[in-house]
Structure formats: structure tokens, C-alpha cells
Amino acid sequence: MKQLILFYFLMGTAILFSQNKFEGKIIDSKTKNPIEGTVIYFPDLNKTSISDYKGLFSMSASKKKILVEISIIGYESKILYLEENSFTTIELSEKNLELEEIIVTGNLNARKEKIPFAIETIKKEELFSSGKLSLAENLSKIVGVSFSSSGLASTKPVIRGLTNTNIVFLNNGIKAENFQFSSAHPFISDEFSARKIEVIKGPFSLIYGSDAVGGVINVISENPAPSKTLEANINSQYHSNTDGLVTNVGVKAGGEKWFGGINFTRKTHKDYEDGDEKQVDNSRFEDLNLGANAGYRTSFGNFSLSYDYSLPKYGLTNQKSVDFVNNDYRILRNWYQELENHLIISKSKIFIKNNIADIDFGFQKNRRVGVSDPSNTNPEMIFALMDLQTFSYNAKYSINKERNKLIVGFNGAAIENDSDDFYQNSNPMPDAKINDIGLFAVNDYQFNDNINLNAGIRYDSRTMESSPYQSAGLNKYTVDNKYNSFSGSIGSTYKVKNQLFKLNVSSGYRSPNISELSQNGIHSNRFERGDLNLQAQRNYQFDFNYHFHTKNFVFDFSPFYNNVNNYIYIVQTDVNAPFGGGKIWQYLQNDANLYGMEFSVDYHPVAWLGIHSNYTWTKGELKDGGYLTQIPQNRLVAELKFSKEKLAFLKQPYFVINYTNFQDQDKLGPFETFSNAYNLVDLNIGSEILMGKQKLNWYIAANNIFNEVYIDHLSAFKPLNLNNIGRNIVLGLNIPLTVGL
């Protein structure tokens, strides 16, 4: 109630402010000619303008100064402030490199060079054209990011050796809650409805809350359609290996004050074949995503409401399921998990002079059902059923000054899980209630054009309760715990001509999750046991980045060191399980160190040729001796990209050859086995063509072109001796449509 009173008070105050006009012109820095079709996005207004044939644009708002992002293919993006009732001429320079991307995260709207922590971005068009089968696999192209897998779609990102509840996943600004304590439970999101996805490497819990000790994945929704415009996007893919079909359709429209859109994505894949052309039974999956959003803008702020529905179904491949799975290689009838998810988000942004108040609410409902058919009288036997509901809230106030930006706020969540007692034998999470609340302050100060300082502090409190019940003769442990802690971060960027130095020191924490505390039974076809005495993790990370660039060359070097106290992990013991067969898998806790380094080089000897390479090296050790489990293989990437502005009737044609070498993993945790090196070669080709006035974008992605036979170290199929996917050729088509209203 207090938050609502504050909301309406601020809105009423903001209405009193007058409306100002912001105008400008976009021109080429060399020729001084106007640039038509430039996208001018106003993040605070959630509104887009397009420059006309004279390069002109305009916008109205109650603010005296307003932030804009300016981008167009072939030119370097810009981010800057416009002053009220003034005309600004903005010069754009041609861009030869795929370099700095504008970053919009935690309201720190800035170029990458101004942000001290490690952050990378993948755009929507890259998600399509790669031909990869999952969001986590797409994110793994980022240096320092890998992925674990329990099949084609049941994948989880791994950031510098950390995953699951060590990573915060944001969907349109709302922290996801969908049983992500296990690698078998992927984050749920329709990546094809996103504008871009940001990955923050390392602890950054200041704005996003606890649990971000490994990093943050931020799925940023699409911009609204420009005023008086109707836009549609049709995307389709065919995957040769799985006979897979992917269809995505998005429609959005915008008026002067209102905007809205709908989005639909459907994926369906058969069982995949490995490099020996052997079928991996029950690796099939299907996914349905529906989304809708609507909003209203005024001169004093804007409001939006969105709804997303997801219904993913993933086949379960294990020692039991392979004997009972049906022979219809596309339909899932038995041994699969269904993760139905509903997400409702309301977002409000209110202008108070040059300052901004953001108030967001989210409601999530996630229902996890496991279905099996172990050849008994019940052909649709449910083996797990859990219902998780989460109410989230975020509020922050941004105070903007000439060289200083202060953000203060609070956020939290009320989480409740209802596990059906009838299936208690294999429900890893009992009935539980969790309440989170956090307060934070972050300050970004620009000393001059070359030195930037970012610092912040946060306090979090979490209460956890669970209700015990019998599980095949064993009690689930009763949880009644409270955790609280401070977190902090301080970092700086220093620019010297064409060099950039970044240094960031941060601290984060996460409490044990309910499963780690209370589990005492079967989960993921193995017996897992928790520990009520687990303490909260506390980590301290040191990040350094050296960046050097010339007109045609870029070099980055980023070492990191992450000291994790009370690191929580699960290992297989040599103790026989009380039932279900196999050994007990026990949650343990020890101090650990994760450290490594990342190199990347981009070189364009000529405008049409790009040479890209990067290397990721990660190591995880226990302080008492030994190595951590599930540390990804080190990898080397080398890529050649040929691209032109125009080639005959083809616009923006490109041809990419990508070679990735995954090295031996011999630094093994308890009961892990050696993983051999392997090499993957991918090819990508595509362009834009015109059919009359209609644009068409086509692409072909050939992944694992030489049909390499391999098992990745992070594959859950490794104990079953099942290989990863073989050659997969993807044919894709994108049709963008725009109509004036």
C-alpha cells in the first residue's frame, strides 16, 4: 500500500511539469550528408524515432535533458544527452569493426568503455542466424561463458565456472524463479522476442539482488514500434539433424502515446543424431511461447503491462527412459518434464525534473511436471509435481546530474512452492516459503572524459521456511532459516588515447537454496541429500581489463580471481543410496577459488574481412586441495568473416568460418572422468535481398560441419557415454514488414 501511495503521489507531482521539445539532425561525419533511417531510441520514454530523408527527428518530454541511443547499420552507435528546446546536429562515423555496443543495464546507460565490470551483448539477429538450438548455447559464443546440458534444449549458461543459483536471470527486468537450482531446469525465456541479451560476468548483486555471485543474464525486451507505425517480423528455421522446425512471428504497433505488440514462437525437434549418426533416444523437445504487451506514454512518464506464457517440454534421457520411450520421434508421451510458466510484468517510469522513478511489479507461476512410463499399468505416470508462485517488486530512483548519477532503491520477492504430497518421493523441493528484501545505492561519477568511477552498496535479508513430509520412508529436512548480508562493488575505467584500463572489486553472497538444505530423496534419477547446516556463500572477485584499439585492430585481456567462501556444490559419494540404486549425491561446502583469463583479438586488414579470435581459460580449486566439479573445458576460437555492403543483388552479404578447439579437461573434481579435446567447425552465410520493395533476410548455418564425435565435459549424458549432436544444417528466413498508420 505504501508503494502505491508513493506511486500516485509522484505521478501527480510530475504532471505539473511542462513539455519540452528535443530536435536534431543525423549526418555523416565525412560527407556531412543526412542519414535517413537512423534509429533514435529514447530509453526513458520507451519511444523510438526514425530520421527522415533530411536526417531530421524530434521528440517531446517534460524533462530538461534526455538520453538517446543512436544506431544504424554501417555506423558507430552513439549515446548522448539532448538539451531542452535546442537543435542538435549529430555526426556518425562509419564503423569498420563489430565493436562497442551501447549498454543499458541497471539504468547505467553508457558505452561499454564507461562501465568497469565485464559485460557482453548478443543482439537478436545473432540469435537467429547462429542456428544454435538453445539460448544457453547462443550465449556460449561469449568469451568466458559456457553451457551445461541435459539434452538439446535443457541447457544452462555457465559463467566463469559458476551456474544454477549462482547466476541471476532477468526477464524484462524481473528476476526469474523456476526451480533453477538444478542443471536439468533451464531458464525459461523466449529469446526471439528480445531486442538483445546482456551478460555480466562476475558478482553484480547491487541492483539485481543476492545470488548474482557468478553473473547476470539480462534479457532485454524489444523496443516499441515507432509512432504511427505497424511492424511485423516473421522468422522460420529448419534443422536438418533433428528435422526441427522453428517459427516466430512478432507484430507491434505504436501511436504517439500508446504502443503494443504480440509475439509467438513454436519449436519442435525430433531426437538428435551424434557424429556417428547414432540416434540419442528421447532427446526430442518442443516449446511454445506466447507474449503480449501494451503501454501508454505521456510527457511525465510511461507505463507498460506485459504477459508471457511458455510451455516447454523436454525429453529425459537416462538409464531408465531409453528402454521405455515410444517410437514416435517427435511427440513426447513419456519420460519428459513440462515446465509451464506464466509471467506478468507491470513497469512504470515517472519523470521528476531530470530524475526518474521506476516502479516494477512481477508475478510468476511455474508448474513443473515430470511424466514417466516405466512399463506399468499407468501409461501417463507423474513422478514429480511442483507449483512455484513468485511476486516480485522493484523500485528505484535515479538522480541525474551533469557528471554524476545516483541510483537508490529497494527490491524483493515473496516466493511460495506447493509440492504435491502424492509425488513426494521425487519432488526435490518441499512446500516452502521464501521472502527477500534488499536495499541498495549505486553511484556513477565521471571525473572527466577519461576517468569514470562506479561504486555501490547493498543490504539483503532472506527468510526461508519449509514444511516436512515423508519421502519413501525418509524425512525431508525442516528449514526455518534467516540470512542477511551486505554486498559492495567499486570499479573505475581509465582511458588514455586508444587504450582503456578497467578495474573492479566486488563482493556478493547467496544463501543455500531449499533443495540444497532439505533434499533427501530421488532427484534426476539419483539419490540426493542436502545439509541443514550449510552457510551462505560469500565471494570476493577481482576483475581487470586492458583494452587497446586502432582503426582496424582491437585487443582485450581480462584476468579475474574469484574467492568463494563456503562454496556449495554436489558430488557423488561412495555410500550406497538407501533406495533407488546407485550412490548418494551429497551437497557439500568448502572454500574455493575460481580464476582464469580471457583474451580476444579483432583485426580488419581490409573493410570486407574480419579476423576474430578469443581464448577462455578457467580453473576451479578447493582451498583444502583438489579441483571443483563441472568446470568447463578451456577453449580457443578462431573466426574469419567476409562481409560487404553490397554484392550484386545481395545487400549486407556475409560468410563466416568459425573454428573452436575445446581442450582436454584433466583437472577433475571428485568422481569426474577425463574429457578429451575436440574441435568444431561452423559455417554461416546470409544476406538481405529485395523482392520489389520487400526485404528478405536469409541465412544458412552449418554447425559441426565435419560431424565431430565428442562428449563435452559439462554434458549430463557423459555418464551414459552418449555423444553430443553431430552435423546440423539450418536454413533460415526472416521477413520484416513495416506499414504506416
Question: Within its chain, how far is the Cα of 454 from the centroid?
Answer: 23
Rg, Å, the chain Cα set? 25
Worst-scoring range by mean pLDDT, 73-77, 249-253, 322-326, 577-581? 322-326
* Block residue for cell numbers 521472502: 435
The β-bridge relationship of strands 404-419 and 110-111 is: unpaired
Domain ranges of the chain: 2-95, 118-740
Q: How confident is the model at residue 8 (pLDDT cuts 50, 70, 90)?
A: very low
Q: Measure the CA–CA gap between 514 and 452, rounded to whole angstroms.
A: 40
Q: How confident is the model at residue 354 (pLDDT cuts 50, 70, 90)?
A: confident
The confidence score (pLDDT) of residue 9 equals 43
The mean pLDDT of 493-518, rounded to a whole number, is: 89
Per-residue model confidence as pLDDT tens digits over 558-609? 999 999 999 998 888 888 888 777 888 899 999 999 999 999 999 999 888 9
Per-residue model confidence as pLDDT tens digits over 113-156? 677 777 888 888 888 888 898 888 999 989 999 999 888 888 88
The confidence score (pLDDT) of residue 10 equals 45
Percent of the chain scoring above 70 in pLDDT:
89
Q: Measure the CA–CA gap between 533 and 26, rounded to whole angstroms.
A: 61
The confidence score (pLDDT) of residue 382 equals 63
**For residue 35, how many C-alpha atoms fall within 13 Å in the half-sphere facing its CB?**
25
Please check the confidence at residue 425 and state whether its pLDDT lies above 70: no
Q: How confident is the model at residue 7 (pLDDT cuts 50, 70, 90)?
A: very low
DSSP reduced 3-state for 207:
helix
The confidence score (pLDDT) of residue 369 equals 84
Return the percent helix, strand and coil in the chain, to nearest 5. Answer: 5, 60, 35
Per-residue model confidence as pLDDT tens digits over 635-652? 999 999 998 888 888 888
pTM of the predicted structure, to 2 decimals: 0.87
Q: Measure the CA–CA gap between 716 and 718, rounded to whole angstroms.
A: 5
Q: What is the dotted CATH code of the domain comprising 118-740? A: 2.40.170.20
Please check the confidence at residue 522 and state whether its pLDDT lies above 80: no
Per-residue model confidence as pLDDT tens digits over 50-68? 888 888 888 877 677 777 8
Out of 473-482, 691-700, 726-735, the most confident range is 726-735
Can you read off the three cell numbers belonging to residue 450? 577519461
Q: How confident is the model at residue 85 (pLDDT cuts 50, 70, 90)?
A: confident
DSSP state letters, 312-348: -EEE--STTGGGT--S-SS---SSEEEEEEEEEEEEE
Per-residue model confidence as pLDDT tens digits over 665-685? 999 988 889 999 999 999 999
Please check the confidence at residue 498 and state whether its pLDDT lies above 90: no
The mean pLDDT of 449-461, rounded to a whole number, is: 90
Q: What is the dotted CATH code of the domain comprising 2-95? A: 2.60.40.1120
Q: Measure the CA–CA gap between 131 and 150, rounded to whole angstroms.
A: 19
The confidence score (pLDDT) of residue 384 equals 67
DSSP state letters, 40-71: EEETTTTEEEE--TTSEEEEEES-SEEEEEEE
The confidence score (pLDDT) of residue 13 equals 44
DSSP reduced 3-state for 255:
coil
DSSP reduced 3-state for 597:
strand
Per-residue model confidence as pLDDT tens digits over 232-259? 999 999 999 999 999 999 999 988 889 9
Please check the confidence at residue 329 and state whether its pLDDT lies above 80: no
The confidence score (pLDDT) of residue 377 equals 44
Q: How confident is the model at residue 223 (pLDDT cuts 50, 70, 90)?
A: confident
Q: Measure the CA–CA gap between 598 and 556, rounded to whole angstroms.
A: 8
The confidence score (pLDDT) of residue 205 equals 65
The confidence score (pLDDT) of residue 379 equals 45
Percent of the chain scoring above 90 in pLDDT:
40
* 704 CB-near residues (< 8 Å, 6+ apart): 275, 680, 681, 682, 725, 726, 727, 728
The mean pLDDT of 425-430, rounded to a whole number, is: 67
DSSP state letters, 135-180: HHHHHTTSTTEEEEESSSS-EEEEETTB-GGGEEEEETTEE--S-T
DSSP reduced 3-state for 193:
helix
Q: How far is CA 661 from CA 555, 613, 636, in A?
A: 20, 11, 5
Q: How confident is the model at residue 409 (pLDDT cuts 50, 70, 90)?
A: very high
The confidence score (pLDDT) of residue 15 equals 41
Please check the confidence at residue 424 and state whether its pLDDT lies above 70: no
Count of residues making up the chain: 741
The confidence score (pLDDT) of residue 111 equals 66
Q: Measure the CA–CA gap between 61 and 491, rounded to whole angstroms.
A: 33
Per-residue model confidence as pLDDT tens digits over 526-552? 788 888 889 999 989 999 999 998 888
Q: How confident is the model at residue 5 (pLDDT cuts 50, 70, 90)?
A: very low
Q: How far is CA 497 from CA 97, 378, 501, 555, in A?
A: 18, 71, 11, 14
Q: Measure the CA–CA gap between 341 and 165, rounded to whole angstroms.
A: 18
DSSP alpha helix (H) spans, 495-618: 514-518
Q: How confident is the model at residue 30 (pLDDT cuts 50, 70, 90)?
A: confident
- Which amino acid, one-letter code, is at 356? I
The confidence score (pLDDT) of residue 437 equals 93
The mean pLDDT of 408-420, rounded to a whole number, is: 88
| Cβ-contact 309, 291 below 8 angstroms | yes
The confidence score (pLDDT) of residue 601 equals 94
The confidence score (pLDDT) of residue 101 equals 53
DSSP state letters, 659-708: EEEEPPB----TT---B--EEEEEEEEEEEEEETTEEEEEEEEEESTT--
Question: Partners of 438 in the beta sheet?
Answer: 411, 460
* More reliable by pLDDT, 343 or 497: 343
The mean pLDDT of 679-692, rounded to a whole number, is: 93
The β-bridge relationship of strands 86-92 and 20-28 is: parallel
Q: Measure the CA–CA gap between 119 and 103, rounded to whole angstroms.
A: 8
| Cβ-contact 686, 654 below 8 angstroms | yes
- Which amino acid, one-letter code, is at 457? I
Please check the confidence at residue 99 and state whether its pLDDT lies above 70: no
Mean pLDDT of the residues in the chain: 85
